[in-house]
């Protein structure tokens, strides 16, 4: 292995660990805003609580359930208010990053992905740019939904 390959493995391991921490923090937040929405509105949400977790991993429903859970919590907290733009931007960029990244990373071996870093790095960067944009929009979405629930509560 050369230094680029060593660096790839190091960075991908670090990114995987950081992503795992973010996943647990985000799912905890989604669960809390869902509960807050129930408490603020007194109504049942469209999706059962188990979908807070399964909605991300069950094929096909993972294309809309997570966004729907957050939208429901927002609507329960601020009836009649428009959804924050950041929710749709976050979800759209997440789907773009997911679709472009899955085909680039998971269909090939690690060696082929590393080889692509030498030849076609733009594909990897485009998928990463979409996910970075989704992360920024996600931060803004978290702040918007949290602010609405604080104001309502």
Q: Is the Cα torsion angle 24, 53, 125, 93 positive or negative in sign?
A: negative
116 φ, ψ to 5°? -65, -30
Residue 90 to residue 21: CA distance in whole angstroms? 19
pLDDT at 76: 94
Residuewise pLDDT in 10s, the chain (153 residues)? 578 777 878 888 998 999 899 999 999 999 999 999 999 999 999 999 999 999 999 988 999 999 999 999 999 999 999 999 999 999 999 998 888 765 555 566 767 766 766 777 777 788 889 989 999 999 999 999 999 999 987
**By the 8 A CB rule, do 130 and 104 touch?**
no
pLDDT at 107: 61
Residue 94 to residue 98: CA distance in whole angstroms? 6
pLDDT at 112: 72
Distances (CA, A) of 144 to 12, 83, 138, 141: 31, 9, 10, 5
Which two tokens mark 125? Answer: 């960067």
pLDDT at 123: 74
pLDDT at 108: 64
């Amino acid at each position: 292995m050369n230094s680029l390959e060593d660096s790839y493995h190091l960075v991908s391991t670090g990114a995987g660990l950081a992503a795992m921490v973010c996943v647990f923090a985000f799912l905890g937040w989604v669960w809390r805003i869902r509960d807050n929405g129930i408490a603020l509105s007194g109504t049942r949400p469209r999706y059962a609580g188990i979908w807070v977790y399964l909605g991300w991993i069950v094929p096909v429903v993972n294309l809309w359930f997570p966004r729907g859970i957050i939208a429901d919590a927002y609507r329960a907290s601020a009836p009649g208010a428009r959804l924050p733009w950041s929710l749709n931007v976050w979800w759209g960029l997440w789907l773009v990053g997911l679709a472009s990244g899955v085909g680039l990373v998971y269909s090939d071996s690690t060696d082929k992905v590393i080889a692509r870093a030498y030849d076609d790095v733009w594909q990897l960067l485009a998928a990463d740019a979409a996910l970075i944009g989704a992360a920024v929009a996600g931060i803004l979405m978290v702040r918007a939904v949290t602010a609405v629930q604080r104001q309502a509560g």
